[in-house]
Amino acid sequence: MLNNPRLLADRRKLLHNTSNIVQQCQTTGIKVAGVTKSFCAHSVLAQAMVEAGVSELADSRLENLQALQSLPVPKMLLRLPQPSELAQVVQYANISLNSEVSTIRRLSREAKTQGKVHRIILMVELGDLREGLLPDDAPKVVSQIISLPGIELMGIGSNLTCLSGVLPTVDNMQQLVELALYLRQRYCLELPVISAGNSSCLYLVYDGKMPQGINHLRIGKAITLGREAAFGLRLPGLHDDVFTFQGEIIELKEKPTLPIGRIGSNTFGEKPAFVDRGRRARAIVAAGRQDIDPQSLLPVDEEVSVVGASSDHLVVELAAGERYRVGDELTFKVGYSTLLAGMTSRYVKKEIV
Ligand SMILES: *Cc1c(COP(=O)(O)O)cnc(C)c1O
């Protein structure tokens, strides 16, 4: 049975990270939706998030929410719905994030057809320029959707740092709160939820600076990687090795560090630079960019360093080459893009420990 390469997930560590963050947020009145997309909503891990006290399970993909149906918390669709999938959105998601009035109207019709109430969070653009209405357009949109049958406007939300790297700050968070207060008053709405964002918001919570009124966050990365996402810093008391990647050495030789011959671009159109450091022990691990991102792998053995990867070959340098043999396994901590690639690659075996 083929066993390598593989991603190992530690259920206990994931549970610990989740409950730690849930508790930290709870002290300031913030509920946490557990985001499952980075591990393809693996049910054992999602179950651990539920045990740790998340208020919802959230994912960008309907296939994943469908797989989570049996777990006893509401399901939240993070990516704006595709107009072609609205029947499934109402069927599998209790809540969805939205910014298009036409889509919300169609969700209303679909909810009525299915005899359900579908809850929505209206996304507001705070500057990262991914999804959301410009704040000035929010009142008009709210007036267009508050009386739609089958739709419950449960709150407003925002998402930062994902595309352009714009950070959550006291100012832009406060702007979101003020918009919610204005909408509540102007339209006599309860609008109970202000869902400020993702893991990049956590630093404000941990620093005690998150403005009053923000009461919901959607957290994935910080749970799976043990780091907040604004500055990439370790969060106190969290594990940074919930997931580890293992691959098998298929070649181990001493080679020059400087390539031999005229250098053009590699397979990926990149022009790597090289420094001549003489001959070093180099190993090839049987994994590649279909499975991992070489810049998002941290060898557990400090004497190992990643050189690069092509589609199916991961090359590492070994400071102590004599300690390894062909057939040995190397273990790496993973960053976000290796976690995404590894969980999605059908060549990578997944193992829960
Ligand atoms: C992915 C996503 C999140 C979670 O982001 P993390 O950085 O993994 O915490 C939250 N909200 C939306 C809309 C997302 O797409």
Nearest CA to ligand 1 atom 14: 78
Decide whether any atom of ligand 1 lies within 6 Å of the 60 Cβ. Answer: yes
pLDDT score of 1: 63
Contact 297, 338 (CB under 8 A): yes
Per-residue pLDDT tens listing for the chain (353 residues): 679 999 999 999 999 999 999 999 999 999 999 999 999 999 999 999 999 999 999 999 999 999 999 999 999 999 999 999 999 999 999 999 999 999 999 999 999 999 999 999 999 999 999 999 999 999 999 999 999 999 999 999 999 998 999 999 999 999 999 999 999 999 999 999 999 999 999 999 999 999 999 999 999 999 999 998 889 899 999 999 999 999 999 999 999 999 998 888 888 888 888 889 999 999 999 999 999 999 999 999 999 999 999 999 999 999 987 899 999 999 999 999 999 999 999 999 999 99
Three-state DSSP class for residue 89: helix
Which of 57, 62, 64, 198 is the pocket-test mutation for ligand 1 (most atoms within 8 Å of CB)?
A: 198
Nearest CA to ligand 1 atom 15: 78
Distance 320 CA to ligand 1 centre (A): 40
pLDDT score of 316: 97
Decide whether any atom of ligand 1 lies within 6 Å of the 229 Cβ. Answer: yes
Distance 58 CA to ligand 1 centre (A): 9
Contact 351, 6 (CB under 8 A): yes
Active site residue 37: yes
Q: Which amino acid is at 133?
A: L
Three-state DSSP class for residue 97: strand
DSSP 308-339: EE-SS-EEEEETTGGG--TT-EEEEEE-HHHH
Three-state DSSP class for residue 245: strand
pLDDT score of 232: 87
Distance 186 CA to ligand 1 centre (A): 30
Angle between helices 138-145 and 101-114 (to 10 degrees): 20
d(CA 200, CA 35): 13
pLDDT score of 66: 98
Q: Which amino acid is at 268?
A: F
Decide whether any atom of ligand 1 lies within 6 Å of the 78 Cβ. Answer: yes
Decide whether any atom of ligand 1 lies within 6 Å of the 235 Cβ. Answer: no
Distance 161 CA to ligand 1 centre (A): 10
Contact 126, 166 (CB under 8 A): yes
Decide whether any atom of ligand 1 lies within 6 Å of the 221 Cβ. Answer: yes
Distance 220 CA to ligand 1 centre (A): 6
d(CA 83, CA 144): 18
